[in-house]
Structure 1
Amino acid sequence: MSRRLPCLLLAVSTLLPAPLLPLPAAAGVADHREFEATLYAPYRGEAGERRTFTLRFGYPGLPAATQVSWTLELTRSGASIPGSVLRRWQGTTAMATQPVETKVEWDGTLPGGEPARGTYTVHLHAALPDGTSDDQSWDILTGAPPAAHPAPLAAAAAAARRKQAFDLPYTVYYGNLHSQTNHSDGGAEVTTCTGAQDPQTGLYGPGDAYTYARAHGLDFLMTSEHNHMYDGSDGTNAGADPGWSRMLYRSGLTAANDFNTTHSDFVALYGMEWGVIGNGGHLNILNAPELLGWERNADGALLADLYTARGDYAALYTLMRQRGWIGQFNHPAFTGQFQVNGVPLAYTPDGDDTIALCEVLNTSAYSRKVNEDETSRHGYEDACNRALEAGYHIAFSSSQDNHCANWGASYANRTAVLIPRGRRLTTDNLLEAIRARRVFATMDKTAQLVLTANGHLMGERFASSGPLRLEVRHASSSDKRVATVAIMEGVPARNGKVAQLSAEMSATIAPAVGEHFYYAKVTQDDGSMLWTAPVWVTQKPAQNP
């Protein structure tokens, strides 16, 4: 890969009347200052079902050492917490500026020494003294895989190898919609990457990222640069040239367009990750031709194309709806993020129209893995469910948030989109599929998962009366089987809890009159999980004969 930013400086400097290059500020960790706990729970155990759970705690930019209090609980899969807790481990772990790990050993038995057989959920709750907390849950399997879910049909597996979505008229494409380059705080050489870079000091730019991702089998990649780092600072660079910031953003759009012009088998997207985490929340804007921002230099000049107030998500959603832009909630949290009138993950009609995706899974943003074997990953299904219950029509996505130069290679997770068969893979067709929520999230790039409801494809909104038949379709081109399945049900605008409706691949139900949404998730026999987009159903009273 080439070192693109110096070349870019030469190109841009010829266009600016008085080039003033931004100066790096402090280390680029402030925008990522958030407590995060991850849990690695091996899906299959060793001899006697013994296994080691790995608890990892990190807090970039932590001002002082602290103690993490944690509780790890084992329940039968689908059981509520608290309630049917079979095993519990508790402890404290000292944490400073660098991530720390704690190992918890389990001998594979239940209380009284009974060997465990079946499917279980391991739940981690971690908290800091100030009340900040994080929760993670993963399923594990002990004993032989359940026999309730048959292997995929040979025809479905063959279709998956061709990226055909079963007998449906769609082709499946796999990619990553969340990554950074040296246009903000990414693009570091893998061998030396230890975290976020000082803005615009990384080695590699968007063109390098697209080349790398395509070479590693991705069908699309978005480089999503932090919108407030185009001045070369994680704070505010008082001496920044607004012309530089705007030209740098345009150069990224040009890089994506140039790559798409010369590569018909790949879609390069360039855009921004808007906002900050502390009292904010990151969201990707997938298709904005203008740089949005709130920072100004010492002369009061806006360091962006268009002013947007920091933290004003309601106004941002309105602007996005007016411009036809598409968004994604990145690594959402329950508290302090995406607030409107003080309510986190608050619903607005404009937000509902524009936010199409919610990250259900993210791998470590600073992973240095290049063989897709990263074990540090974080789930956000509960937060995405809260947004669904608030009324958002969002599909699940699965991202890597790469800051090192390993775009798409840290793990095998992907966001998958369904494009009508016969249409080419283009930027417009990709964005149209995302708008339609024809998306599933997967930890396995060789697998497919689709949900239909009375023949309607996931992502659709429709009215129904009478019975509703929900069908889950799974296929694997690497011969993985479904170990467990859950069809989930919720109610838009209820602001309640999403609950499991069925543990089978199909279910026929009689919904109550009113609004509902349903989605499916499966765990394969290798522990990889997949999530469909929801379907939204308005259930009408049954018609009289």
Structure 2
Amino acid sequence: MRRVLKIVLLCALAGLFFSFSAFAQLHIFYGNLHAHTSYSDGAGDPWEAYTHARDYGKLDIQGVTDHCHYLQYPLADGSMRLPKTFQAAREMNEDGRFLAIAGFEWTLTGQGHITVYDTQHFTHRDESDLFQLYEWIYENDGIGSFAHPGVKYGDFYDFVYDPKADQVMNLIELGNGSTYVSRCINEEYLERYERALVRGWHLGAAANQDNHQANWGSANTLRTGVFMESLTLENLYKALRARHTFATEDADVKIYFEGNGAMMGDILYDLDRVTFRVEYSDPGDTILEAQAIYSGGVLTLPVQGDVWETTFSLSIDKPYEWVFIRVEQDDSNEVITSPIWIQDSKRVYLFNTFSFPARIVRDQPFKYGYEIANLNEEERTILFEIKNDEGEAFFQKTITLEPLGLFKEVVELRVPTKALTLYLDGLPYGDAGLEEVSFIAGIDTSHENYFLKELEPLSNYLESLGGDTIPLKGSLNPAKLSNCHWLIMPLPPSDAMLPSFAVLTARDVELFKQYVTRGGHFIFVLSKEKSLPAAIDSCKRFFEEVGVSVHLDEDGTALSDPENVFTTKSGSHFLFLTWEEATDPNRISEVLKGLGHLW
């Protein structure tokens, strides 16, 4: 559900704007909040880390966040690792000059890594999974930060949303690493950032070196910028909880982003129009491009140079919106701010709608999923409806939401139009985000016949006819075939790695017979070279059982029939294509152009 925002750029000339009231009493301090020592898999001890970061890294803030599973075990002198880190932080901390903070990194690769601050204890992966960790941070009033989100270490189950965890998961790393700085903020982290925001999370931008060598702060110029009145621990934790941060690959850039008196990290309520202002200063480092990124798209800001400011306005036509700024410098370093959110003050939000299949067929059943989050600390009861343009309701449900609770549901719908609107308590929330096609063709990949790439010409042609093609992975079953009007069955090659999987089993044949009975159609793609005799025989048995009098040659590469389309008594069509026809864009269009009645 993405709706285009109306955007008006006001001006881009320095010195002509209202003062930054949100930042009037604040200063920027630079920190490295994620690093390791020999207390886990790094180098040195916390005292060395803090000293190096202060004296050589020239940082205002340094965090030590050793891996939690090491913290269970004592050091050589018998002392426990986390209390020792707390001791080092207390001794090295000097308000007004340098802040030393101690935390830990919870790691469970596959689910993700999270750094945790401002707690007196720790938990580890042997006693807590991701969701138990969220609960632990909430109960201990901690501060959580999603670390290096992505394929390698995990993306927190695609950032599945948790309203309670959203209160304490305050940051996300958009940059991570102690190597070449211009590679530390990357497209994968940025894509995961946007995904988390779309799913409902309220997260401030961070960038940290994650040091494992004795180079805390000095490894590169990757920093988390933090806005505070003065350099104290109290102010730091307050700023991190408020998401008053930005991620930067430049050590001393200054960037300010505000809207209607709120600063980056803040939430605005009940506004249908917001004027935003951005100020940038980094003498000697000119920019390549600056963008305002929001849920509906990207706006390029008409600015240049190393010192500039600009304003732009957005008309807000949805109950939940976010906007952040991304700047790329000429030297490829990047700066990304925390967002400003614009929300409905009822604090009940509809997130993460989807349909299955992704593109529906009119008047055919499909699954529709949605989540409704209650960000209030009191119970809420709401009415959720799905209506067409005439106000006719196709779905209604009264839902009671627990405090900081989340309701999830997948329902089956059958609708005559994709033009549907979602309503909460009688007020339009947004469109249902449905896309429509004329038919759906599933491509079997479960019989040693994984040819998705090779069959792209066939898929593209079917899509040009108004259809959609979807891969069917894993064993076939009635649920997978329920939305398919056509089933594409490539014959397996003779050198199949697992020959027994290439054969249609009695279960497969029974499933296909049921599919034919309800009017399903087939496209069989013949083998490129000789197919497995057992696989060919199993297909022939199926053809006989459904009354299709087709004659495959003995190697499964051609038909001996003059026709390539057969129709059963129940009206199911069987179309046979040679490998060359299905994989050649020119030949597939030639073969199928006279068969429009089939689709």
- TM-score, length of structure 2 as denominator length: 0.50
Separation in 2, partners of 1:173, 1:250: 26
**2:100 pairs with 268, 287, 291, which one?**
268
The aligned counterpart of 1:499 is 297
**1:428 pairs with 222, 225, 234, which one?**
234
Q: Which segments of 5 or more consecutive residues in structure 1 lack a partner in the other structure? A: 1-147, 188-203, 232-239, 296-307, 368-372, 491-497
CA RMSD, Structure 1 to Structure 2 (Å): 3.0
Deviation at 1:377, TM superposition (A): 3.0
**Helix, strand or coil for the counterpart of 2:228?**
strand
Structure 1 residues 264, 245: closer, same or farther in 2, change over 3 A? farther
CA contact (8 A) 2:185 2:207 kept: no
Deviation readout 1:177-222 (Å, 9 max, x if unpaired): 11101110001xxxxxxxxxxxxxxxx1001010000012100010
Pairing 1:384–2:201 present = no
Separation in 1, partners of 2:53, 2:16: 30
Structure 1 residues 264, 448: closer, same or farther in 2, change over 3 A? closer
Deviation at 1:483, TM superposition (A): 2.8
**1:439 pairs with 233, 245, 248, which one?**
245
Structure 1 residues 413, 338: closer, same or farther in 2, change over 3 A? closer
Q: Which segments of 5 or more consecutive residues in structure 2 lack a partner in the other structure? A: 1-10, 303-309, 346-426, 428-599
The aligned counterpart of 1:524 is 329
CA contact (8 A) 1:246 1:291 kept: no
Pairing 1:416–2:233 present = no
Separation in 2, partners of 1:290, 1:265: 27
**Helix, strand or coil for the counterpart of 2:83?**
helix
Structure 1 residues 434, 291: closer, same or farther in 2, change over 3 A? same
Structure 1 residues 469, 263: closer, same or farther in 2, change over 3 A? closer
The aligned counterpart of 2:148 is 331
Deviation at 1:318, TM superposition (A): 1.4
The aligned counterpart of 2:319 is 514
Deviation readout 1:147-172 (Å, 9 max, x if unpaired): x976x77999xx9xxxx999622111
Structure 1 residues 182, 440: closer, same or farther in 2, change over 3 A? same
Deviation readout 1:95-149 (Å, 9 max, x if unpaired): xxxxxxxxxxxxxxxxxxxxxxxxxxxxxxxxxxxxxxxxxxxxxxxxxxxxx97
Separation in 1, partners of 2:201, 2:262: 19
The aligned counterpart of 2:254 is 448
The aligned counterpart of 2:81 is 248
Structure 1 residues 244, 292: closer, same or farther in 2, change over 3 A? farther
Deviation at 1:378, TM superposition (A): 5.0
The aligned counterpart of 1:321 is 138
The aligned counterpart of 1:224 is 65
Deviation at 1:427, TM superposition (A): 1.3
Separation in 1, partners of 2:98, 2:151: 35
**Helix, strand or coil for the counterpart of 2:103?**
strand
- TM-score, length of structure 1 as denominator length: 0.55
**1:363 pairs with 177, 194, 197, which one?**
177
The aligned counterpart of 1:190 is none
CA contact (8 A) 1:225 1:271 kept: yes
Deviation at 1:244, TM superposition (A): 7.9
**2:38 pairs with 175, 182, 185, which one?**
182
Matched letter for residue 399 of structure 1: N
Structure 1 residues 315, 246: closer, same or farther in 2, change over 3 A? farther
Pairing 1:350–2:164 present = yes
Structure 1 residues 375, 474: closer, same or farther in 2, change over 3 A? closer
**1:291 pairs with 122, 138, 148, which one?**
122
Deviation at 1:273, TM superposition (A): 0.4
Pairing 1:467–2:273 present = yes
Structure 1 residues 529, 165: closer, same or farther in 2, change over 3 A? farther
Separation in 1, partners of 2:255, 2:21: 9
CA contact (8 A) 1:165 1:172 kept: no
Separation in 1, partners of 2:95, 2:261: 35
Matched letter for residue 536 of structure 1: W
Deviation at 1:524, TM superposition (A): 2.2
**Helix, strand or coil for the counterpart of 1:449?**
strand
The aligned counterpart of 2:48 is 208
Deviation at 1:319, TM superposition (A): 1.7
Deviation at 1:323, TM superposition (A): 1.3
**Helix, strand or coil for the counterpart of 1:411?**
coil
Return the structure number with greater relative CO, CA threshold 8 A, min gap 6: 1
**Helix, strand or coil for the counterpart of 2:80?**
helix
**1:258 pairs with 71, 88, 91, which one?**
91
CA contact (8 A) 2:271 2:342 kept: no
Matched letter for residue 104 of structure 2: M
**1:481 pairs with 275, 280, 286, which one?**
286
Separation in 1, partners of 2:17, 2:271: 33
Deviation at 1:290, TM superposition (A): 0.8
Separation in 1, partners of 2:106, 2:77: 19
CA contact (8 A) 1:213 1:408 kept: yes
Separation in 2, partners of 1:512, 1:336: 37
**Helix, strand or coil for the counterpart of 1:471?**
strand
**1:173 pairs with 20, 24, 29, which one?**
29
**Helix, strand or coil for the counterpart of 1:251?**
helix
Separation in 2, partners of 1:520, 1:317: 28
**Helix, strand or coil for the counterpart of 2:236?**
helix
Deviation at 1:402, TM superposition (A): 0.7
CA contact (8 A) 1:149 1:483 kept: no
Separation in 2, partners of 1:527, 1:356: 27
CA contact (8 A) 1:273 1:282 kept: yes
Instruction: Kindly tell me the number of residue pairs found equivalent between the two proteins.
Output: 326
Structure 1 residues 473, 463: closer, same or farther in 2, change over 3 A? same
CA contact (8 A) 2:272 2:317 kept: no
The aligned counterpart of 1:398 is 207
**Helix, strand or coil for the counterpart of 1:349?**
coil
1:132-171 counterparts in 2 under 5 A?
Answer: 168-171=24-27
Separation in 2, partners of 1:208, 1:335: 29
CA contact (8 A) 1:335 1:344 kept: no
Structure 1 residues 154, 179: closer, same or farther in 2, change over 3 A? farther
Structure 1 residues 175, 361: closer, same or farther in 2, change over 3 A? same
